[in-house]
């Protein structure tokens, strides 16, 4: 299984340098390594001293690198979607966009970077459906509402992924380790939460289960007085959900972790608290925290430094590395590998994944407290004034500052009502008591 390390952190803290050094050192150790620049800039080219594009190039022995070229990726996606919906656009009188008309949209790199990562890992294909071949899509010579064009499209179960696999076995990849240079954590946190949120929105708008009502659609249309969505629209939603699920599998895999880069100072310390809260809310695991360019150095569980102690409180399971300010900025694979001597080694890019990465931990726990059940949501660094809770049906909506997550409640908690909630010991504890109206009586 390919090991994935996502590198993010404070702006200007040296994320790109740490990401490149992590990759260079792992390649020196014999790991087949891909370094992916996903922050939308060309800084990785400067650090490596090599020109990079959308496809991996060898920057050093064992080390390949690529970057997300936002304009190229956006053009690819727009033309792909335009091909799928070409017939519909023609019906409503919308002229298709030409490639030269497509310009990069702010935030496009963030939205597309994770799909590029999944593509390099073989989780999704370059072109899940060939141009003009999307199952059931209206187009030239194909009437609206025509049946599926392929047998796979006729399957309404959603079991097949867009690349034709069953979603259980990922394609073989040439990489032992993929290191991703992400944007600053303020952008990276919502970026990592994007696939889950988009899946929820798509499923809410066009639930796959409604395809079971295909035979009733003419009757429903007669009663409602408006046309019901055609099969190709549901197939489009199913394909989109399958792609998002593939990306989520990459992010949620136990072999995908985060290396957080920060710097010395109170301002950075306040940012660390916000980062810890946002990443914990979305269930992202931080393996390492690197304090870069500090006026002191050392890697030790007993580093006598208030900064390191504060970080251990926010990230109790992470290794803390404090790096002294370097005399020269490391440029090139050799200098980066030397710089990496101060970084914790990446665990888990060997053939045998170590036990510490062998199983994903559940992001939330349910504890018993007498007749109460307590949902425990880790939120290190959270401030009580930034916290808001709302229950809607079988979900708990947790908002912390600018970040929000909808948590599906376990079946036992769905039959309970909320008694109260509190923030204690870096965790949100929501108390539930049985609802007499629905709880099974003894």
Give per-residue pLDDT as tens, 86-130.
555 555 566 666 665 556 565 666 777 888 888 888 765 544 333
- Taking 70 as the threshold, does the pLDDT of residue 221 lie above it? no
pLDDT number for residue 259: 95
Rounded Cα gap, residues 123 and 116, in angstroms: 10
Question: Out of 2.60.40.790, 3.40.50.1820, 3.40.718.10, 2.40.170.20, which CATH number does the structure's domain 365-434 have?
Answer: 2.60.40.790
- Which pLDDT band, with edges at 50, 70 and 90, does 411 fall under? confident
Which tokens hold the place of 330?
A: 């490391």
Rounded Cα gap, residues 8 and 147, in angstroms: 46
* Range with lowest mean pLDDT among 85-94, 248-257, 409-418: 85-94
Percent of the chain with pLDDT over 70: 63
Strongest mean pLDDT among 143-152, 302-311, 347-356 = 302-311
Rounded Cα gap, residues 288 and 394, in angstroms: 35
pLDDT number for residue 398: 93
Q: Are strands 365-369 and 177-181 parallel, antiparallel or unpaired?
A: unpaired
CATH superfamily entry for domain 1-346: P-loop containing nucleotide triphosphate hydrolases (3.40.50.300)
pLDDT number for residue 164: 40
Over residues 275-333, the pLDDT tens digits come to: 999 999 988 889 999 998 766 555 444 444 677 888 989 998 899 988 877 777 889 98
pLDDT number for residue 430: 94
pLDDT number for residue 349: 57
pLDDT number for residue 93: 60
Rounded Cα gap, residues 63 and 34, in angstroms: 6
Which tokens hold the place of 348?
A: 């888990």
- Taking 50 as the threshold, does the pLDDT of residue 438 lie above it? yes
Q: Which helix (H) or strand (E) holds 108?
A: helix 108-120
Task: Work out the average pLDDT over 239-263.
Answer: 83
Q: Answer whether 322's CB lies under 8 Å from 348's CB.
A: no
- Which pLDDT band, with edges at 50, 70 and 90, does 233 fall under? low
Comparing 361 with 309, which gets the higher pLDDT? 309
Angle at 405 between CA 16 and CA 389, to 5 degrees: 135
Q: List, in order, residues 6 or more apart from 364 with CB less than 8 Å away.
A: 375, 376, 377, 378, 407
Percent of the chain with pLDDT over 90: 25
Rounded Cα gap, residues 334 and 120, in angstroms: 25
Q: Answer whether 113's CB lies under 8 Å from 120's CB.
A: no
Task: Work out the average pLDDT over 423-438.
Answer: 87
Which tokens hold the place of 415?
A: 């039959």
Comparing 383 with 362, which gets the higher pLDDT? 383
Name the residue with tokens 């809410």.
204
Taken in order 99, 100, 103, 109, the sign of the CA dihedral is: positive
- Which pLDDT band, with edges at 50, 70 and 90, does 254 fall under? confident
Q: Answer whether 36's CB lies under 8 Å from 181's CB.
A: yes
Q: Answer whether 77's CB lies under 8 Å from 63's CB.
A: no
Which tokens hold the place of 324?
A: 């002294």
User: Could you tell me where the beta strands, DSSP code E, fall in 128-186?
Assistant: 177-181
Rounded Cα gap, residues 368 and 356, in angstroms: 27
Give how far the C-alpha of residue 69 lies from the chain's centroid of Cα atoms, to the nearest Å.
18
Domain locations in the chain as residue ranges: 1-346, 365-434
Taken in order 381, 383, 388, 389, the sign of the CA dihedral is: positive
Nearest CA to 134 out of 207, 238, 236 is that of 236
Residue 166 burial (10 A CB sphere; 0-12, 13-18, 19+): exposed
Strongest mean pLDDT among 5-9, 67-71, 152-156 = 5-9
Nearest CA to 181 out of 320, 29, 52, 316 is that of 52
Task: Work out the average pLDDT over 165-170.
Answer: 42
Give how far the C-alpha of residue 180 lies from the chain's centroid of Cα atoms, to the nearest Å.
12
Which tokens hold the place of 45?
A: 């080219």
pLDDT number for residue 353: 41
pLDDT number for residue 294: 61
- Taking 70 as the threshold, does the pLDDT of residue 18 lie above it? yes
**H helix intervals, 229-332:** 231-252, 266-281, 306-314
Which tokens hold the place of 138?
A: 């209206």
């Amino acid at each position: 299984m390919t090991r994935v390390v996502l590198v993010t952190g404070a702006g200007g803290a040296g994320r790109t340098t740490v990401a490149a050094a992590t990759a260079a050192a792992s390649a020196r150790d014999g790991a087949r390594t891909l370094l992916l620049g996903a922050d939308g800039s060309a800084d990785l080219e400067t650090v490596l001293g090599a020109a990079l594009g959308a496809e991996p190039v060898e920057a050093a022995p064992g080390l390949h690198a690529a970057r997300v070229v936002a304009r190229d990726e956006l053009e690819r996606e727009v033309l792909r979607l335009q091909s799928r919906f070409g017939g519909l656009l023609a019906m409503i009188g919308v002229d298709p966009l030409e490639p030269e008309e497509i310009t990069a949209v702010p935030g496009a790199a963030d939205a597309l970077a994770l799909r590029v990562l999944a593509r390099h890992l073989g989780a999704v294909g370059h072109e899940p459906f060939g141009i003009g071949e999307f199952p059931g899509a209206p187009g030239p010579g194909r009437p609206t509402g025509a049946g599926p064009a392929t047998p796979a499209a006729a399957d309404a179960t959603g079991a097949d992924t867009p690349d034709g696999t069953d979603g259980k076995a990922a394609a073989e990849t040439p990489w032992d380790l993929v290191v991703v240079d992400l944007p600053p954590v303020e952008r990276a946190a919502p970026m990592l939460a994007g696939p889950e949120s988009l899946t929820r929105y798509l499923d809410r708008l066009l639930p796959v289960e409604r395809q079971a009502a295909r035979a009733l659609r003419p009757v429903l249309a007669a009663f409602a007085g408006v046309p019901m969505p055609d099969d190709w629209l549901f197939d489009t939603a199913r394909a989109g959900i399958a792609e998002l699920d593939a990306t989520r599998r990459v992010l949620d895999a136990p072999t995908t972790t985060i290396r957080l880069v920060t710097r010395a100072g109170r301002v950075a310390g306040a940012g660390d608290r916000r980062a810890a809260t946002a990443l914990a809310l979305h269930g992202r695991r931080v393996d390492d925290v690197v304090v870069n360019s500090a006026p002191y150095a050392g890697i030790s569980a007993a580093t006598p430094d208030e900064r390191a102690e504060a970080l251990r409180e926010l990230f109790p399971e992470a290794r803390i590395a404090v790096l002294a300010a370097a005399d020269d900025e490391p440029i090139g694979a050799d200098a980066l590998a030397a710089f990496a001597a101060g970084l914790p080694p990446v665990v888990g890019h060997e053939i045998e994944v170590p036990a510490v990465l062998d199983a994903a931990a559940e992001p939330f726990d349910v504890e018993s407290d007498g007749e109460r059940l307590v949902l425990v949501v880790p939120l290190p660094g959270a401030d009580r004034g930034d916290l808001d809770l709302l229950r809607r049906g079988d979900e708990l909506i947790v908002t912390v500052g600018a970040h929000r997550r909808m948590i599906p409640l376990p079946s036992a908690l769905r039959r309970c009502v909320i008694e109260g909630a509190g923030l204690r010991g870096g965790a949100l504890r929501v108390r539930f008591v049985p609802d007499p109206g629905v709880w099974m009586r003894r």
